[in-house]
């Protein structure tokens, strides 16, 4: 974990029925929208409404992710997602998350996003966001 | 079925693993993207690429749908979707579909879409589409 | 609305980014898992944990649904789902829901579920559930 | 790439409308069910129907994945998924995939699955599968 990573308050959600598969557990693809929701809440806690961000022409597409699934989740399980956020230079953010059910580590993930403009070109993260993360 | 409904060639697909749920069958929400895929293929067979349609500022959001699930589908089942298309006046299309696995009727659906402009206002369907359906 | 329908406390959620489509609104298929979540919470409020229900071999698959989409929802919108529940005879439940964003009616839906055993055969709803709904 | 990796025939699919998000591209979570579909087709080409595999009590949950997104995909784009499969010891498989649209590299992914029994315990891959991969 980068020294400058900001640890943010945890985000909680419950596994939806539609997110299970015939193995009887949450499908591995379901974790990505959860991580995205946790990132968006995390940015909000730093004072950045991602909703307004896109309205102003700044996008943050995912360009890489890694995830390790340690234990399965079942329907209706409550998951806690703990997220750290770090800037990688002036154009990228790296989110490291761990997912927990009570005391069990469920999964670990690293998601890298890049700031882009409406044309899909890499651009600088807003100065205020860089400042907020660095604090 | 409206007399002027056009019956189009069937569309086939297989149930994805991610589309199953812990009941061991395809989740009921999975059918909607299948029906959408079948509608888009159906419009293409009438000579309308929905992709270009949106690029030119014409959208066709779903404003109502009904679906009856007769028999469950399982992972890897091959489904055939048979679709009829009819114009309802000059601004709306009605798609009636039946889903089949071999000789079994799996589900029946009616999906109503409206033509809208980029601002979300109801607008006229392209004349050429109305003509194609009426033929 | 059936006289015997039970009106339950509303359920709230936010539109996830992954639930939007290229029209810039929540995709029409995303509403089905929301309605399902609202139903499961509603059953819980009547004292039935659907999770345990399935563990004991009672399933409640959706066998029909109707939905009308009145206004689009956008990313991060907060939606309130108000649900009424009624038994239809001794084997089926009917859930009627309306979706709201502040004072706007967003959508209306009717979802019919049937009680089935592990073999997929229609079976009776638990007496305690029938009693709870009738109260 | 492991020397013993088997290169399998490519799998093709089209981006569904429901798989797009409000950025106007395929959502990053949509790639996981595509990769899963490609793995299942790949196993089928080696003579293993994953459908029957689960029916006989052998499961292959994903325990880790990495993916790099190089270029966005749009609605209706045709994607080709090229997959290599390798056994890692006697209990795990590693699938390496690249996604292509015409001559463009769209994404690269590594997905690791483990063989488990119905109780979720790691178990040996079927001998016939190991032999087929080694050939």
pLDDT in tens, C89-120: 899 999 999 999 999 999 999 999 999 999 89
CA distance C90 to chain A (A): 24
Cross-chain Cβ contact C29/B28 below 8 Å: no
* b/e sequence C12-42, b meaning 16+ C-beta within 10 Å: ebebbbbbbbbbbbbbbbbbbbbbbbbbbbb
Residue C135 has pLDDT above 70, yes or no: no
Tell me which chain D residue has its CA closest to the CA of residue B33: D18
Tell me, yes or no, if A44 comes closer than 8 A to chain C by beta carbon.
Answer: no
Looking at residue C131, what is its pLDDT?
87
Looking at residue B2, what is its pLDDT?
52
Looking at residue A91, what is its pLDDT?
95
Q: What is the mean pLDDT of residues C58-86?
A: 97
Catalytic residue among A2, A3, A21, A102: A21
Cross-chain Cβ contact B32/D18 below 8 Å: yes
Instruction: Tell me which residues of chain A have a pLDDT lower than 70.
Output: 1-4, 135
Per residue in C10-27, pLDDT (tens digit) is 999 999 999 999 999 999
Residue D90 has pLDDT above 60, yes or no: yes
Looking at residue C123, what is its pLDDT?
95
**Beta-carbon count within 10 A of A4 CB:** 12
Looking at residue C129, what is its pLDDT?
87
Looking at residue D135, what is its pLDDT?
66
Tell me which chain A residue has its CA closest to the CA of residue C38: A16
| List of chain D residues whose C-beta atoms are within 8 Å of the C-beta of residue C22 | 17, 20-25, 75
Per residue in D102-130, pLDDT (tens digit) is 999 999 999 999 999 998 999 999 888 88
Tell me, yes or no, if C75 comes closer than 8 A to chain D by beta carbon.
Answer: yes
Best of D18, D20, D29 to disrupt the A interface (most A CBs within 10 Å) is D29
* Beta bridge pairs of residue C4: none
Name which of B67, B72, B120 is nearest C65 (Cβ-Cβ): B67
Q: Which own/partner pairs from D44-51 qualify as long-range (CB within 8 Å, at least 24 positions apart)?
A: D45/D8, D45/D9, D46/D6, D46/D8, D46/D85, D46/D129, D46/D132, D46/D133, D47/D128, D47/D132, D48/D126, D48/D128, D48/D129, D48/D132, D49/B76, D50/B17, D50/B76, D51/B74, D51/B75, D51/B76
CA B22, B26, B31, B37 torsion: positive or negative? positive
Catalytic residue among D2, D21, D76, D117: D21
Best of D36, D76, D101 to disrupt the B interface (most B CBs within 10 Å) is D76
Exposed / middle / buried, residue D128 (Cβ in 10 Å: 0-12, 13-18, 19+): exposed
Tell me, yes or no, if A75 comes closer than 8 A to chain D by beta carbon.
Answer: no
Cross-chain Cβ contact A18/B29 below 8 Å: yes
Name which of D18, D36, D74 is nearest B18 (Cβ-Cβ): D36
Tell me, yes or no, if B76 comes closer than 8 A to chain A by beta carbon.
Answer: no
State the pLDDT confidence band at C127, using cuts at 50, 70 and 90.
Answer: confident
The token pair at A63 is: 């360009």
Per-chain mean pLDDT for chain D = 93
Q: What is the ipTM, given to two decimal places?
A: 0.94
Best of B22, B26, B72 to disrupt the A interface (most A CBs within 10 Å) is B22
**Beta-carbon count within 10 A of D102 CB:** 8
Instruction: Tell me which residues of chain B have a pLDDT lower than 50.
Output: 1
**Nearest-angstrom CA–CA distance, B51 and B96:** 21
Helix (H, G, I), strand (E, B) or coil at A132: helix
Tell me which chain D residue has its CA closest to the CA of residue C76: D22
Name which of B49, B51, B76 is nearest D51 (Cβ-Cβ): B76
* Beta bridge pairs of residue C113: C62, C93
Name which of C17, C33, C75 is nearest A16 (Cβ-Cβ): C33
The owner of tokens 């940015």 is A43
Residue D2 has pLDDT above 80, yes or no: no
**Nearest-angstrom CA–CA distance, B78 and B80:** 7
Tell me, yes or no, if A22 comes closer than 8 A to chain C by beta carbon.
Answer: no
With residues binned 3-state (H G I as helix, E B as strand, rest as coil), the percentages for chain A, rounded to 5, are: 25, 40, 35
Tell me which chain B residue has its CA closest to the CA of residue D20: B33
Looking at residue A2, what is its pLDDT?
52
Q: Is B76 a catalytic residue?
A: no
Tell me, yes or no, if A50 comes closer than 8 A to chain D by beta carbon.
Answer: no
Asked if B103 and B56 count as a contact pair (C-beta separation under 8 A), the reply is: no
The values of phi and psi at residue A130, to 5°, are -60, -40
- DSSP structure class, residue C36: H
The token pair at A108 is: 């670990």
Catalogue the active-site residues of C. Answer: 21
Residue C1 has pLDDT above 80, yes or no: no
Asked if D2 and D86 count as a contact pair (C-beta separation under 8 A), the reply is: yes
Tell me, yes or no, if A33 comes closer than 8 A to chain C by beta carbon.
Answer: yes
Name which of D23, D59, D72 is nearest A23 (Cβ-Cβ): D59
Tally of CA atoms within 13 A in the half-sphere of A57 that contains its CB: 7
| List of chain D residues whose C-beta atoms are within 8 Å of the C-beta of residue A33 | 29
* Beta bridge pairs of residue A88: A92
Tell me, yes or no, if B53 comes closer than 8 A to chain D by beta carbon.
Answer: no
Looking at residue A3, what is its pLDDT?
55
- DSSP structure class, residue D30: G
State the pLDDT confidence band at C69, using cuts at 50, 70 and 90.
Answer: very high
State the pLDDT confidence band at C122, using cuts at 50, 70 and 90.
Answer: very high
Best of C18, C20, C22 to disrupt the D interface (most D CBs within 10 Å) is C22
- DSSP structure class, residue D29: G
Tell me, yes or no, if D127 comes closer than 8 A to chain B by beta carbon.
Answer: no
What is the share, in percent, of chain C residues with pLDDT greater than 70?
A: 96
pTM of the entire structure? 0.96
| List of chain C residues whose C-beta atoms are within 8 Å of the C-beta of residue B121 | none
Quick one: which H or E segment has residue A131?
A: helix A127-134
**Nearest-angstrom CA–CA distance, B108 and B116:** 26
Q: Compute CA distances D39 → C17, D15, D54, whole Å.
A: 27, 17, 15
Looking at residue D5, what is its pLDDT?
83
Asked if C79 and C16 count as a contact pair (C-beta separation under 8 A), the reply is: no
Tell me, yes or no, if A18 comes closer than 8 A to chain C by beta carbon.
Answer: yes
Tell me, yes or no, if B19 comes closer than 8 A to chain D by beta carbon.
Answer: yes
Looking at residue D33, what is its pLDDT?
98
**Nearest-angstrom CA–CA distance, A35 and A42:** 10
Looking at residue B131, what is its pLDDT?
87
| List of chain B residues whose C-beta atoms are within 8 Å of the C-beta of residue D57 | none
The owner of tokens 């004349």 is B127
Q: Compute CA distances D11 → D43, D44, D79, D95, D106, whole Å.
A: 12, 12, 8, 14, 14
State the pLDDT confidence band at C2, using cuts at 50, 70 and 90.
Answer: low
Asked if A98 and A38 count as a contact pair (C-beta separation under 8 A), the reply is: no
What is the share, in percent, of chain A residues with pLDDT greater than 70?
A: 96
Cross-chain Cβ contact C18/D24 below 8 Å: no
Q: Compute CA distances B2 → B47, B94, B132, whole Å.
A: 21, 10, 15
Of D105, D99, D104, nearest to D11 (Cα)? D99
């Amino acid at each position: 974990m980068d020294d400058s990573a900001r640890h943010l308050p945890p985000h909680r959600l419950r596994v939806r029925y539609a997110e299970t598969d015939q193995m009887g557990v949450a499908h591995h693809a379901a974790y990505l929208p959860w991580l995205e929701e946790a990132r968006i809440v995390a940015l909000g806690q730093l004072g950045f409404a991602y909703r307004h961000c896109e309205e102003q022409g700044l996008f943050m597409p995912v360009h890489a992710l890694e995830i390790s699934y340690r234990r399965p989740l079942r329907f209706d399980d409550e998951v806690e997602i703990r997220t750290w956020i770090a800037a990688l230079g002036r154009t990228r953010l790296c989110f490291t998350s761990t997912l927990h059910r009570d005391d069990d580590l469920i999964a670990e993930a690293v998601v890298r996003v890049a700031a882009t403009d409406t044309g899909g070109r890499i651009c600088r993260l807003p100065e205020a966001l860089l400042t907020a993360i660095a604090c």
